[in-house]
Structure 1
Amino acid sequence: MIAHTYPRKPRPGDRVAVLSPSSGLPGLLPLPYELGVRRLREDFGVEVVEYPTTRRMGASARDRAADLHAAFADPTVKAVIASIGGDDQITVLPHLDAELLRTNPKPFFGYSDNTNLLAYLWNLGVVGYHGGSAMVELGRPGAMHPLTAESLRAALFGSGPYELTAPKESGDVNRPWQEPETFTAEPEMAAAEGWWWHQGDRVVEGTGWGGNLEILSWLLMADREIRPVEEYRGGVLFLETSEEMPPAAEVYRILRCMGERGLLRQFPALMVARAKAWSFERPLDAPGKERYRREQREAVLRALGEYAPGTMAVFDVDFGHTDPQLVIPYGGRIRVDGRERRITVTY
């Protein structure tokens, strides 16, 4: 497995880039973006630096890559945060200068479509951070969730072990970002059950790899940023799904393909995020959410049973498209302790 290095962390007062490597939604939906930027400045105490495509919808892949190069090459910029995800960051990867990014490593924060860049940095031996977008987590209506803020602050400024906390509440119901009223109150939350363990009778510690399952499937199809399967041996796989809410059958099929490739069995531990189970297109009620998540878990367990029967798994961990959201170090150390029911990451 590639040796990974943690980039030096920023300190309050430092300059931090906010980029849109996927989608320039800050230009269309300024309310959550400007709220997120304000919190970065006022609550986290950093100086925010924007780039030409940060607020520009339809920017070319080449232009978005140029902004990434500018941010990483600038010695006064100490970290890079994605504004939000999207669906075409895979087209940016061919335009990236690997040597520039390798020799100017910065902590990069993003998830969803930013799985592309996180996997790219993983292959360069640079630890990234799965989570913490400007528009969603930092721009959360009403207030940042305390667990999100604590995890993001620890990942952005800190180093060393950080134990993840299972929340007592979670939410996935959104309100329209176009409406100012949305930002007058926090999102609707519901009681959350704890983590669900499968074969939690051991301790596994390894390098984290994974991200958004849909994006990983695209990388696999395009044969981008996927290394020989043996190079993932002994790592901790972490997977999450998006607001597009893929059906359980599709989740199983993606994992089946990863299994046929010999990839699943390389990981002795798997973390699966609490599946987002509500969208404007599919506003499921409470029983519908429970059923959707159960079917997702059954799909994962089916694939593990067929391709990685010895893998330990823990479900409903709050990372990715979750509220609250815990930041996962991509390429960093993750310790999954099934005996004590604890997960500790190293930021």
Structure 2
Amino acid sequence: MTMPVYPPKPSPGDRVAVVSPGAGLPGLFPRPFELGLERLRKEYGLEPVEYPATRRMGSTPRERADDVHAAFADPDVKAVFTSIGGDDQITVLPLLDRELIRANPKPFFGVSDNTNLLAFLYGTGIVGYHGGTVMTSLGRPGAMNPVTAESLRAALFTPGPYELRPAERFNDIERDWADPATFDAEPQSRPGAGWTWVNADRVVEGRAWGGCLEIVGWLLMADREVPRDLSVFDGGVLFLETSEELPGGEEVFRTLRNMGERGLLGRFSALLMGRPKTWSFEKPNSPGEAERYAAGQREAVLRAMRVYAPDTTIVFDVDLGHTDPQVVMPYGGTVRVDGPARRITVTY
């Protein structure tokens, strides 16, 4: 197991790859995708380069793996962005050429199903970036969220420490991408209540690992991209978040319980738990239902941690997942969790 190193950062004017190693949703919803590409050009000064399967729904795992290989192998491409997530990227992992990617390290940006590739990069020795998908972060209606935009800019161009702060306002209610009116105004938001700290009596600094909880569970079930030697996680920072599928509290507890039985939870010195998404088109929760869902998830996390890692520092409602804004987490990079000062600093 090689501890990850940070790949070289791009500069304004560079070409960056845009791939869909999960789902080719740009083909179904071109509006947020095109908006995201435009912002890459105009707001970040980068030139996006699409690959054959980027807009193609139903592409094979081999076709998607070929796009990933081509993006990393091209010396003129300086970073790799994903369009969005999906639900079967795990089938791409066995097809990836680890040596090719290790020989051509580049910043890789993605969330959700892209937890698969982020975990792959961690095991390959490359720091990845959990955040920054084209259709969601960059293609947000109205304008990019300033918190998201600032974090992404720092992760792209500025090495060194970056302090995260609780979002003053947030949103997790989606609007229909197929409706042009969706993009006429920014999403409505509501006040945030800050972070909630548990066991905040120490300072923890370590490498970050985790991602979307459902995908982490799948990786464990498939026995992929989780190091055999769990000591690589000792003293590290685990970060987790849940998706728009809104897994119930009992499912969250069971996944964490099984991670505890695997010996994972007790290895980490801190857990950053992303603000849970509480609304979806399939489950359009009322404000009261959303509040109860979030409270149920928090209790599920605490229930598992009390058994398997009772002394771990925990921070709830960090804006690192499927809600808006979305900060970028360095996957495999250094994260400092300062409990007494109530501060979180990541190193990009």
Matched letter for residue 318 of structure 2: V
Checking the alignment, whether the CA contact within 8 Å between 2:276 and 2:323 is kept in structure 1 is yes
Return the alpha-carbon distance in structure 1 between the equivalents of residues 110 and 262 of structure 2. 27
Matched residue, 1:13: 13
Return the alpha-carbon distance in structure 2 between the equivalents of residues 231 and 240 of structure 1. 21
Return the alpha-carbon distance in structure 2 between the equivalents of residues 2 and 204 of structure 1. 21
Checking the alignment, whether the CA contact within 8 Å between 2:163 and 2:345 is kept in structure 1 is yes
Cα drift, residue 232 of structure 1 = 1.2
Return the alpha-carbon distance in structure 2 between the equivalents of residues 162 and 272 of structure 1. 18
Matched residue, 1:3: 3
Matched residue, 1:120: 120
Query: Alignment partner of 1:197: what SS?
Result: strand
The equivalences for 1:171-250 within 5 A come to 171-228=171-228, 229-250=230-251
Cα drift, residue 129 of structure 1 = 0.1
Matched residue, 1:265: 266
Which deviations, in whole Å up to 9, do the C-alpha atoms of 1:177-208 show, x marking residues without a partner? 00110000001100110000011111000000
Matched residue, 1:156: 156
Are 1:330 and 2:331 matched, yes or no? Answer: yes
Checking the alignment, whether the CA contact within 8 Å between 1:2 and 1:231 is kept in structure 2 is no
RMSD: 0.7
Query: Alignment partner of 1:141: what SS?
Result: coil
Matched residue, 1:43: 43
Matched residue, 1:303: 304
Are 1:286 and 2:287 matched, yes or no? Answer: yes
Matched residue, 2:347: 346
Cα drift, residue 230 of structure 1 = 2.0
Query: Alignment partner of 2:136: what SS?
Result: coil
Checking the alignment, whether the CA contact within 8 Å between 1:318 and 1:326 is kept in structure 2 is yes
Query: Alignment partner of 1:135: what SS?
Result: helix
Return the alpha-carbon distance in structure 1 between the equivalents of residues 3 and 278 of structure 2. 36
Matched letter for residue 330 of structure 1: Y
Which deviations, in whole Å up to 9, do the C-alpha atoms of 1:110-159 show, x marking residues without a partner? 01000000000000110000001000010000000000000001001111
Checking the alignment, whether the CA contact within 8 Å between 1:161 and 1:346 is kept in structure 2 is yes
Are 1:253 and 2:257 matched, yes or no? Answer: no
Return the alpha-carbon distance in structure 1 between the equivalents of residues 347 and 226 of structure 2. 23
Matched residue, 1:59: 59
Cα drift, residue 231 of structure 1 = 2.1
Cα drift, residue 286 of structure 1 = 1.5
Return the alpha-carbon distance in structure 2 between the equivalents of residues 144 and 287 of structure 1. 28
Matched residue, 1:274: 275
Query: Alignment partner of 1:207: what SS?
Result: strand
Query: Alignment partner of 1:257: what SS?
Result: helix
Return the alpha-carbon distance in structure 2 between the equivalents of residues 96 and 320 of structure 1. 25
Return the alpha-carbon distance in structure 2 between the equivalents of residues 196 and 52 of structure 1. 44
Q: Structure 2: 5+ residue runs without aligned partners?
A: none
Checking the alignment, whether the CA contact within 8 Å between 1:26 and 1:83 is kept in structure 2 is yes
Q: Report percent identity of matched pairs.
A: 65
Cα drift, residue 290 of structure 1 = 1.2
Query: Alignment partner of 1:137: what SS?
Result: helix
Matched letter for residue 101 of structure 2: L
Matched residue, 2:87: 87
Return the alpha-carbon distance in structure 1 between the equivalents of residues 268 and 323 of structure 2. 23
Query: Alignment partner of 1:101: what SS?
Result: helix
Checking the alignment, whether the CA contact within 8 Å between 1:141 and 1:186 is kept in structure 2 is yes
Residues matched between the structures, number: 347
Checking the alignment, whether the CA contact within 8 Å between 2:200 and 2:339 is kept in structure 1 is yes
Which deviations, in whole Å up to 9, do the C-alpha atoms of 1:199-237 show, x marking residues without a partner? 111100000000000000000000000112222111100
Return the alpha-carbon distance in structure 2 between the equivalents of residues 258 and 173 of structure 1. 30
With the length of structure 2 as denominator, give the TM-score of the two structures. Answer: 0.99
Matched residue, 1:23: 23
Cα drift, residue 258 of structure 1 = 0.3
Checking the alignment, whether the CA contact within 8 Å between 1:273 and 1:317 is kept in structure 2 is yes
Checking the alignment, whether the CA contact within 8 Å between 1:17 and 1:50 is kept in structure 2 is yes
Matched letter for residue 103 of structure 2: T
Q: Structure 1: 5+ residue runs without aligned partners?
A: none
Which deviations, in whole Å up to 9, do the C-alpha atoms of 1:47-99 show, x marking residues without a partner? 11000000011000001000000000000000000000000000000110000
Return the alpha-carbon distance in structure 1 between the equivalents of residues 122 and 31 of structure 2. 32
Query: Alignment partner of 1:329: what SS?
Result: strand
Which deviations, in whole Å up to 9, do the C-alpha atoms of 1:229-287 show, x marking residues without a partner? 22211110000000000000000000000000111000010000000000011111212
Matched letter for residue 253 of structure 2: Y
With the length of structure 1 as denominator, give the TM-score of the two structures. Answer: 0.99
Matched letter for residue 190 of structure 1: R
Cα drift, residue 2 of structure 1 = 3.5
Return the alpha-carbon distance in structure 1 between the equivalents of residues 99 and 335 of structure 2. 27
Checking the alignment, whether the CA contact within 8 Å between 2:3 and 2:122 is kept in structure 1 is no
Query: Alignment partner of 2:134: what SS?
Result: coil
